[in-house]
Structures are given as C-alpha cells and as structure tokens.
A = this chain, B = another copy of it.
Amino acid sequence: MQELQGSSRFDRRAVKVDEAARLVLGAAMPGRRESVPLGQAAGRRLAEQASASCDWPPFARSGLDGYAVRSADTAQATPQSPAVLRVVGAVAAGELARAAVVPGTAMRIMTGGAVPEGADAVVMLEQTADTLENGQPVVRVKRAAGPGQNIAQPGEEFRRGSPLFEAGTLLRPGHLALLATFGYADVAVYARPRVAVLATGAELLPVAAPLAPGTIRDSNSVMVAAMAEQSGAAALPLGRLADDRDAVTDALEAALAQADIVVTTGGVSVGDYDIMAAIMRGWAPDRLAEASVNSSLAEDRLLFNKVAMRPGSPTSAAVVKGKLVIALSGNPGACFVGFEWFVRPAILRMQGAAIETALPEAVTAVLDAAYEKGSPHERFVRTRLYVEQGVLHADPLAFGKSSMMASIPDADGLIRIPSGSSGLPAGSLVEVLLLQG
C-alpha cells in the first residue's frame, strides 16, 4: 500500500502550543499610540507610565464630619468631665479655615475639609455635643482624641512623582479614578490594533441569507470580530471568500494593506480546497528559497502550520509584509481555541501587554468528571468553572465534541489535557485557561 495521503502531502511539523504562541508574540510588537479623553480610556492600555502629579492627599484632610481639635486639649476628657472647647469657626470642604485652632478652641470641619493650622485631630460629630456658654458656641468632647486621628496626612497615600501604573496596564474604572485625581484629562494609550477578519469556504452564506442545500451561514466572522473587540482591537470584518486561491490571495493583500493583523478562518486542513493551507505553505522558508524571491518577500515567513493541540492542529501563522497573518480552523470550537492562543495574545501584546500577561491566564482546578481519552497532542476542553468551599471546580462541557457550538457561549475556561495522557480521573487537579467574561 502506497504512502497515506494528506499528511504526507504537506510535510507539516507540529510545534507545541506554548512555542507557537511565543512565535506569534515574537512577531507582535507594541504598536501605535494615541491620546484619548479620560472618559473614553476604560478598556484601553496605557502607552506610558502614569505617575502622581502631586502629593496625595495634597493637604491634611479630614476623613469625616466633626470638630478639628488639638489632641492635647482633650487628653483628660471623660464622659463625666468632657473637654469644653470654644468653637472658632467652621471649615467646609473646598475652602481654607480663616483662623487657626489655638489651645482651648475647636473648629467645625466637614468630610474632606482642610484641617486648620494648630489642629492635629478630628473628633467625629456623633461623639460631640454643642451648646452655648455665655453666648459663645462651645463643643464638648468626652473622650481623648489621639494625635492624627481621622486625618489623612499630606502625601500619606502617594508622593509626588511616584509611579501609579506601568505602560501596558489595562485601564479599569478604578485606574480612571486615580488618573482623574492626578489631573490626567487625556491619557496616552495604545491605539486599537486593526484586525481584519476573513472567512474562507465555498459553503458559507452571509448571516441574513436563507440556507441553500449544502450551505451554512458564516458564524466564525462575527465570533472572531467580537473576540477581537473584547481584546481591545478594532475589528474589520471583510466578509467571505470561496476557496479560490487567487481571490483569497488578493483579499489577503487588501487586508494586509489596511490591518495590523489578518485573521482568516477555514481552509487550513489537508483537503483539496484548503486554500489557506496552500497559501501559508508558500511562505515556508524552503518554498521561498525555491522561488528565488526578492528581499522584501524573503522577509515574509511562515511561523508554523501545525500545532500539537486538539482542536485546531492545522492552525497556522505567518509574518507577511511585517504583519501577522493567523489562519484559524473553520471548525467553530477549533477557531475559538486558536483565537485564545494566538490572536488574543497578539492583540494584547500590540497594546503593550507584557508577554506573560498577553499569554492565556492559567489556573488549577479540580476536574469534576473523568476524561477517558488519551491523545498524542494536548487537548483543550471547554469547561464551566465554579467555586465550592473555596475550591475551584472545572465542570467539562461536551467532552470531546469540539465541533459542537452549543457549549461555546457557556464556557469560562479551557481544560488543558496533557498529551499522551491515558485519561484523567474525576478529582484530578487540572490546568484551566481562563476565558474572558
């Protein structure tokens, strides 16, 4: 019997998934920067380190409503014999006191007010009683106030110039609060990487089309575009292409002209119509050498066209005209896994994320159900995660059914089944890659 088909036709060398991801990250450099108003900066990543523009708090601030006092004046105070202090004014937030607190006096102060000169403690309003004595307002304090009590000292939280966040930090609402505090009305962030999305496959119809026999609607484009946007990219969905090498080549060319990353789905397998596989193969070093291509083309290079993982082993990546082309499988489950391993990290990296941050985040969890199959390659199985009594559990969804779309929306993790494993019993501690919410 002669040589088997397909796998031999393309001599694809499988690289391990971690190595493949690092190859992609090696080709994804932090990209363009832009300035955006603070109110639009959530979900973006800082392009420069942010630092404290002043000490924080900028002045001695009262933490609550009450009376600013000299702690020494209250040292002997008891409920039976309260300290009686003459009230010399009030200081609201936003203003400065017009007088100092001298011995035997106190000043009414509001939350956030600047503690007046002379005072070194604030007594909570609820722990005081005010009255008039000889027509003068006085306040009674029935307990000793400690020096510094209820006062945030200048610079206590931040020193002017001290770093707040590093470049590459993903900005969440709490980051914006600190940036506002320090006057960042505009923020330097990385521009959204432009991610072109191209679906290949003669069987694909637009979403709005009625089904014809043998056809299906393109579901990968909208999923990949949404995943790209979720990662901070601007998605450019460029539609569907039949399995025609010239048409796909032209479309890739056009996509490369307008995008930072080109993601394709479908056509990466071993079949006769697997156009992306053939095109990617054209960027392999041996092919380029054969073709005695010019130097610009010689910089194009295949990164890998087989990954030692299931699903998604034919996932491929190349650098073309200095940009990443990532060819995902057309199988929705494989497309999803390929995105998490290669496309999301590249998008994050182009926004300045450190390499370790850009890679999928992994945790350990207890496997709820036995996984029976061994596999020559690592396998990624969609799972739901939940916590019980402080223990993280992975409840696998549709074990071994990567083609099933139904469980993709429910997944919040991917269980990593080691290669060669003869299966894992329920209760095993497994590695799980976390998916975005």
A residues apposed to B, CB below 8 Å: 1-7, 38-39, 42, 54, 57-59, 63-65, 79, 82, 90, 92-96, 108, 110-114, 124-131, 140, 142, 152, 157-158, 165, 172-185, 201-204, 206-211, 213-227, 229-230, 237, 242-243, 269-274, 330-332, 336, 363-366, 387-392, 403-406, 408-411, 429, 436-437
Contact = CB atoms under 8 A, between A and B. Distances in A.
Contacts of A408: 174, 177-178
Contacts of A96: 213-214
B225 A39 contact: yes
Contact of A405 (B6, B181, B273, B389): B181
Contact of A172 (B54, B224, B409): B409
B223 A330 contact: no
Given A214-B94, A330-B111, A223 B272 contact: no
A421 to B, nearest CB: 18
- Of A3, A165, A403, the most chain B CB neighbours within 10 A belong to A403
A203 B125 contact: no
A178 B336 CA distance: 13
Contact of A5 (B126, B214, B226): B126
B271 A202 contact: no
Contacts of A128: 4-5
B273 A93 contact: yes
B404 A157 contact: yes
Most chain B beta carbons < 10 A, residue from A183, A271, A429? A271
Contacts of A364: 387-390
A363 B223 CA distance: 29
Contacts of A3: 129
A42 B226 contact: yes
A165 B176 CA distance: 34
